[in-house]
Chain A
Amino acid sequence: MTGSIAAIGAGLAVIGAGIGIGQIGGHAMDAIARQPEATSKIQTAMIIAAALVEGVALFGVVVALMK
């Protein structure tokens, strides 16, 4: 096996981000389907939550970059 194990760490962090943002998007779509007139509020909240989850995943990527 060549390369560094930091790449595996970064990949695991990104799996976490993918699952998290996928859940956010899925629940947001359910909410929009239930109440289409609240779409813009739900969308705003979804984007904010996605940015926060992505921030956490990027902590992992930054640590992997250090190596």
Chain B
Amino acid sequence: MKTLLSSIIIFSFGFAALSAQNNYETAMQQSFEALEQGQVKPAQQMFERIAIMETDKWVPLYHSVNLLIGESFETEDKEKRELLLGKAKELIAEAHDRSPNNAELLTLEGLLYTSYVTSDPQTYGMIYSSKIAALHQRAMQADSENPRAMLNALEWNMGSARFFGNDIKPICEKVEAVIPMFDSYESDVAFAPTHGLEKAERILADCNND
């Protein structure tokens, strides 16, 4: 009898957990679909919503922040850009709390500050350049296999090499070396970011155009 009761209890709890897990997965997939259809804003808000519901998951925050940063790069309106990046900063701080020393999040934060720098290099260049370099460095230390961490660090170095008129060829070669890593890299976290290959190919194409 006792065994039966405990099985029921375990079963019920397990069920509740699975049910919640299903909600999460469903919601995540819906968000990706919205994104697939170009519904960037709703997708971003859905990820944010999921993050509110699933208080132990960093992945929805990652995607939400990634979309905010993406939008910020395309926004000319400075006030709007500050709003987007302000929100992104808030969410990424929460994500770091949920998953400290996470290479994906550190890389993403590097991208966040890169958006600040591109919006106003004279104000933010000096303040954030070393921060960005440090974030890339930490990301690669946290996960030396992560292709996105590598690629963003290389992209940043390339920008600076172009600015100073240095040879970008060694960097291009490294970008080439990163490309197979996108295939081999596997994360055990569901819905973990997989993007970056197209960007790597684009950077490489730019290399060849020079």
B partners with A: no
> Measuring CB to CB, which residues of chain B are less than 8 angstroms from any residue of chain A?
none
